[in-house]
Amino acid sequence: MRVPPLRSCFLSDAAARGAASLLALLNLAACGGDEDEARHPKPIDRPEIPAAQDIQTTDLALDLGALAGKATLVVVPSAGKVTLDVSGLTVTKVTLDGHAVTPEITSGMLQIPVPGAPDAVTVAVEYAFRARTPATFDGWMPSLGVSFVWPYSCSNLFPCDPSLSDGVSFTMSIAGVEDGLTAIYPTSTRGDGPAYMPAVAVGDYTELELGTTTAGTTLSAWYLPGRNALEDATKGTAHLVGAFDYFEQTYGPYHFGPVAGTVEVDWGADSWGGMEHHPYVHVGKFDFNDEEAQVHEAGHGWFGDGVRIACWEDFVLSEGTTTYIAARALEQVEGPNEWDYYVDDFLVPICEGSSHDPTLVNTIVLPDTCGEIDFVHDDLWSITPYMKGACFYEEVADVIGPDALDQTIGEFYTTHVGQAARMQDMIDLIEARAEASDRPAIQALVSDWLLSFDCPENYADRCRTHGN
């Protein structure tokens, strides 16, 4: 067992200059938790849901005024029952295939016996949920007008399985919205995504239509009132349609329907970064004018949401891959070059150990376990997997060529979209598709960037410079 870092509650220097996805949220959640618990985390104590159980679809009808919901799930049962995490909910009524059943809840787990061996059953759960506060940042927060259940707080908003392995296709309807405000949410996510993906944002939104990609995906930005609001939205999304088009044309079709976009959210004083709530990603108000933040969240439609990670130890498959493809797409559509930003603002302080910011702590970004770390208390929950992961891909591109790497990333995406995968699967595919003569160099990069604590020699130039 490792000693967890002492996380503190301050806005990082890096975040103050604008940050990649989630960076500010690292601080938010660290601030939200009990400080003593952060120093002495309990062992992972998640309820057991059989891995063979499969929640196929979840229809969510939420009344944000009444703080009440009805979730209708189609589930493939396991071990003769359906097991759902309802630990943040007050369950009032449960039906199984339309017949009322008496809810049996043990340690926050709703267990419903399923007679016979049906392929799938329909479970409907009516419940009340609590309003959450920005201090805990783990559910519907009326004071901010936004929901947030990453990484595994879905059961504060709806009955769920927080496991990364179980992807779910969501439909949603929202009631109880204050007059004059607009709720932005997907009526359907169309494809399977992680349990932390669905979200709603409520505010005085104005829609900015951005355009349509070659494949026909229509994109919009929804921005909040404020000084320079339209200018900021326009600046941040200047290359968003182009980058989205690049992802679709290069890696494969978008998984979450024909309409998508980006929603400005007010997360309070820490409104940096974003969250991959596809098809309507959230981007913090301080970063809404930042092209990297916008394209990064869009990129999670391919990695993180489209292809889920199999365990939190594979965080680099989500964040490292997305950080790389965001920079790659922006370069290819003549947007800004992000490599100096990645290296100078994040990689150097990580590698030099020169920052007191707990999100810039060095760590090995690809642990050799799966499902064993206490993620939110582990150094892996930092900006380090974003940057070392992006550098790994950048250097692989230097060896095999960026177009060849794009082709492999696309093959990986089309093979695994809608499923969970491991970073090792990506490494294996990159090696398999490379010339035999390039494989030793690729294996050295795996070791340098993913499996080593120390950053390699000349790390800054190696990462930022294409072609070497």
Q: Which residue has the tokens 């109880």?
A: 176
- Pick between residue 121 and residue 285 the one whose CB is nearest to Zn ion: 285
Q: How far is the CB of 303 from Zn ion (least distance, A)?
A: 9
**Among all residues, whose Cβ is closest to Zn ion?**
21
- The nearer residue to Zn ion, 161 or 319, going by C-beta atoms, is 319
CB 76 within 8 A of CB 88: no
Closest separation between CB of residue 323 and Zn ion, Å? 7
Beta strand pairing status for 308-309 and 81-85?
Answer: unpaired
Min. distance of Cβ 273 from Zn ion in angstroms? 8
CB of 297 to Zn ion, least distance (A): 7
Distance (Å) of CA 274 to CA 141, 162, 204, 346: 16, 20, 19, 17
- Could you tell me which stretch among 13-21, 41-49, 238-246, 257-265 binds Zn ion (CB under 5 A)? 13-21
Tokens of 63: 């009344």
C-beta closer to Zn ion: residue 290 or 398: 290
Reading the block at residue 117, the tokens are: 């061996």
Smaller CB separation from Zn ion, 19 or 82: 19
Q: Please say which residue, 64 or 260, places its beta carbon nearer to Zn ion.
A: 260
From the list 5-13, 21-29, 215-223, 414-422, the region that binds Zn ion by CB under 5 A is 21-29
For Zn ion, the closer of residues 21 and 250 by Cβ is 21
Least separation in angstroms between residue 22's CB and Zn ion is 5
Q: Report the residue number, 127 or 286, with the smaller CB distance to Zn ion.
A: 286
Q: How far is the CB of 275 from Zn ion (least distance, A)?
A: 8
Any contact of residue 359 with Zn ion (CB under 5 A)?
no
Cβ 292 to Zn ion shortest distance, Å: 11
Q: What's the closest the beta carbon of residue 384 comes to Zn ion, in angstroms?
A: 13
Q: In this chain, which stretch among 96-104, 207-215, 307-315, 318-326 interacts with Zn ion, using CB under 5 A?
A: 318-326
d(CA 218, CA 259): 5
Q: Which of the stretches 147-155, 234-242, 313-321, 368-376 binds Zn ion when contact is defined by CB under 5 A?
A: 313-321
The count of chain residues that interact with Zn ion, using the rule CB under 5 A, is 2
- Measured from the CB atom, the residue of 21 and 220 that comes closer to Zn ion is 21
Question: What SS3 string covers the chain?
Answer: CCCCCCCCCCCCHHHHCCCCCCHHHHHHHHHHCCHHHHHCCCCCCCCCCCCCCEEEEEEEEEECCCCEEEEEEEEECECCEEEEECCCEEEEEEEECCEEECCEEECCEEEEECCCCCCCEEEEEEEEECCCCCCCCCEEECCCCEEECCCCCHHHCCCECCCCCCCEEEEEEEECCCCCCEEECCCECCCCECCCCCCCEEECCEEEEEEECCCCCEEEEEECCCCCHHHHHHHHCCCHHHHHHHHHHHCCCCCCCCEEEEEEECCHHHCCCEECCCCEEEEEHHHCCCHHHHHHHHHCCCECCCEEECCHHHHHHHHHHHHHHHHHHHHHCCCCCCHHHHHHHHHHHHHHCCCCCHHHCCCCCCCCCCCCCCHHHCCCCCCHHHHHHHHHHHHHHHHHCHHHHHHHHHHHHHHHCCCEECHHHHHHHHHHHCCHHHHHHHHHHHHHHHCCCCCCCCHHHHHHCCCC
Site string for Zn ion, 365-404 (x = CB under 5 A): ----------------------------------------
Q: Which stretch binds Zn ion (CB under 5 A): 20-28, 50-58, 285-293, 441-449?
A: 20-28
Shorter beta-carbon distance to Zn ion: residue 21 or 53: 21
Q: Nearer Cβ to Zn ion, position 167 or 273?
A: 273
State which residue, 183 or 366, has the beta carbon closest to Zn ion: 366
By CB under 5 A, is residue 21 in contact with Zn ion?
yes
Instruction: Kindly write out the interface string for residues 262-301 of this chain, putting x where it contacts Zn ion by CB under 5 A and - elsewhere.
Output: ----------------------------------------
**Closest separation between CB of residue 300 and Zn ion, Å?**
6
CB of 110 to Zn ion, least distance (A): 31
Least distance CB 324 / Zn ion (angstroms):
11
Residue whose entry in the numeric block shows the structure tokens 């007059």: 179
Binding site for Zn ion (CB under 5 A): 21, 319
